[in-house]
Structures are given as structure tokens and as C-alpha cells.
Amino acid sequence: MVFGFDSLLRCTLALSAFISYSHADEKYLDRLHKHMSLLQREGSVETWTDHQIVAGAKLDKAVMDALRSSDLFIALVSPDYIASNYCYEKEFEEALRLFENGKLHIVPVIVEPCDWLSSPFRQFMALPKDGKPISEWTNANVAYLDVVSGIRRLVSTGKTDTVPVGTGPSAAVTSGRRIKIKQEFDSIQRGEFIDQAYEVIRDYFKSSCDELSGIDDLKAKFHRMSDSSFTCTVVNRGIKGGREAHITVHNSKGSRHHFGDINYVFEAHAGTNTSNGSIRVNADDYNMYLTLGFGGLMGRDNSKYDAQQAAEALWLEFIGHAGIEYD
């Protein structure tokens, strides 16, 4: 969906986002607000929730007035949301009517597993990626980052990947099918892709280190060496004498003398002249993606990863050296 003229005028100032949620999911709302704080500080997005209704105000009128003056409807979708008569039958139904009139853009954010694909939400490309519920991500901060990245694209371009099926150049004419358009990717696009991937990987490691440090017998430290390098150390004190794991990650930007686009070494503060493996940008006829390599003659994993999947795979390999894994 591309916004109409009036909405685009508002976007030049700030995108007005109505956040619809069940009160049972308030913890997700609080976390989303924290991740959106930079967008709000920049003046790119203004959010509205029912917290802004003042005492004595007429509830329905306040909600509908806010909804009808918004550019964006963000629904935090969960079993509680779908079961809520007010959220689903009043707010969402009105949002659908406004959408059909070209006055509103709808973005479902799936926070918990639920039957949303049997609802009208199935018309829309959901966030996080592939509609995977936030509660099922190993690191929820990465899920929220994916959500905020989608909203940021919407702010910067007036459109987003969360377009409904059947509207937009990449959507199919009939519901449920999507057209794939062949394209070629130049060096600038590949460079931007790897820079973005490196940032996702770096942020994933930082937030994961913070998470581990809050667990008994585990200690993790993240250090940003430069704009293109970071190093991490994890100590598992649950093993007698402690077991440590180290990693240094470099954004090599595809330089020929490096081992890959993103190079990693299982040492602390390692230089760029050694490698235990690498992450490379590849492309098919339709998309760019990442592949993982394991230094020397060990070969490559030819699976196609996005940035967060590559970050998770590398993180799990790293902490495995310290005898740590997730259920």
C-alpha cells in the first residue's frame, strides 16, 4: 500500500501510529515502546494508546477519534487480542474500514502464537519476519528490532514490506500468491546489505550478552572495538574452573584480502589476518541472502540465511564453546 497525499503530508512531520492491544499483553506494548523510543525522539513517529485517555472522557469517542486521525494501525496480535470483543470487533473492524478507503495502513505484530492466519489479518504481511511470534524468538530484542525496522522503512518511504496481499508491485493478482520479480544486485546494494547484516549481528550479540549476564553462574562481556569490529567473552562458572568462549567479528566489506564479507575468529580482540569462519553475501535471481562458512577446508553451509538467522547460528556456535545451549 502507498499512502494517499494527505497521509504523505503528515509523514513529513511524524507518522501517527495507533497501537491496538489487549491489556493482557501490556508487557509487549511496554517493550515495543522502548524499542520505538528513537523513532519517537527523532520526531518520525507519534504513538497513541488508550493510556492517553483522560479521566472522564468518553471511551469509544476518544478511541475512534484517535484511530480515524492515524496513519498507521499497529495491532499486537495474540490469543487475548483475538478474544477481545473491543480490540478485534471494534478497533480492528474500524481499521479495516479505514484501510479499504485508503486512509490507514495496517501492520499486525504477532506477539504470541494464535490463529491469526484464519482472520482478516492474513491479508497483511505481518511483523516480525514471517509472522513468527515474538514470544518464540530466542532473543526477543531481535524480534522487536525487526518490527521497528519495518516501521522505519514505512516512515522513510511511505510504504513497507507489510503491504497487504494483492496491493503493490510485488503482490499477486489473486489472494495467497505473490509474484517474484527477477533482478540483479550491484556492489552498492550488496555493500548496504552486508552493513545492515553486520549491525543486526552486532546488536544481537550485545543484547544476548546482556541476557546471559543476568543468569547465575554465567558472565558475558561485549566490547565494541570499532564501527566495523566487536568482540565478546562468555564465562560459564557452572563448570569447575570455569569455561570461557571468545569471539571477534569483523565487517570486512568484501575486501579481497579478507576471508569473507563478515569474518569471525574464536579469540578475543583478534586481528583481521586470521579466520575460523565467515559470512558471505550471495544472491539468486530474486533476493540477497547470507551463507555461513567454516574456515579452511571445512566448507560452507549453503542454506540461505537472513541477518537475524545468521546472528543466531553464530551466537549458538559461540556459546557452545563455553558449554552453554538453549532448550
Task: List pLDDT tens digits, range 181-218.
Answer: 677 888 888 888 899 889 989 998 998 898 888 888 99
> Does residue 214 sit in helix, strand or coil?
coil
Do 234 and 322 touch, CB atoms closer than 8 A?
Answer: yes
Question: CA angle 284-288-292, nearest 5°?
Answer: 95
**Cα–Cα distance between 230 and 15 in angstroms, integer?**
34
The one-character DSSP state at 86 is I
In whole angstroms, what separates CA 213 from the centre of its chain?
Answer: 23
Percent of the chain with pLDDT over 90: 35
**Cα–Cα distance between 218 and 129 in angstroms, integer?**
30
Please tell me the least confidently modeled range out of 109-118, 179-188, 261-270. Answer: 179-188
Neighbour count for residue 40 (Cβ, 10 Å):
14
Q: Is the pLDDT of residue 85 over 50?
A: yes
Percent of the chain with pLDDT over 70: 80
Residues in the chain: 327
Q: Is the pLDDT of residue 162 over 50?
A: no
Question: CA angle 188-192-195, nearest 5°?
Answer: 140
**273 Cβ contact list (under 8 Å, min separation 6):** none
pLDDT at 235: 95
Indicate the residue type of 206: K
pLDDT at 124: 85
**107 Cβ contact list (under 8 Å, min separation 6):** 72, 73, 74, 75, 124, 126, 127, 150, 151, 154, 160, 162
**Cα–Cα distance between 168 and 174 in angstroms, integer?**
12
Cα–Cα nearest to 18, from 151, 178, 144, 181: 151
Cα–Cα nearest to 258, from 215, 295, 225: 295
Q: How confident is residue 18, by pLDDT bands cut at 50, 70 and 90? A: very high
Which CA distances in Å does 4 have to 1, 69, 93? 9, 14, 21
The 10 Å CB-count burial string (b at 16+, else e) for 143-158 is bbbbbbbbbbebbeeb
Q: Counting beta carbons within 10 angstroms of the beta carbon of residue 85, is it exposed (0 to 12), middle (13 to 18) or buried (19 or more)?
A: exposed
Mean pLDDT of 14-29: 91
**Cα–Cα distance between 210 and 41 in angstroms, integer?**
24
**Cα–Cα distance between 295 and 267 in angstroms, integer?**
14
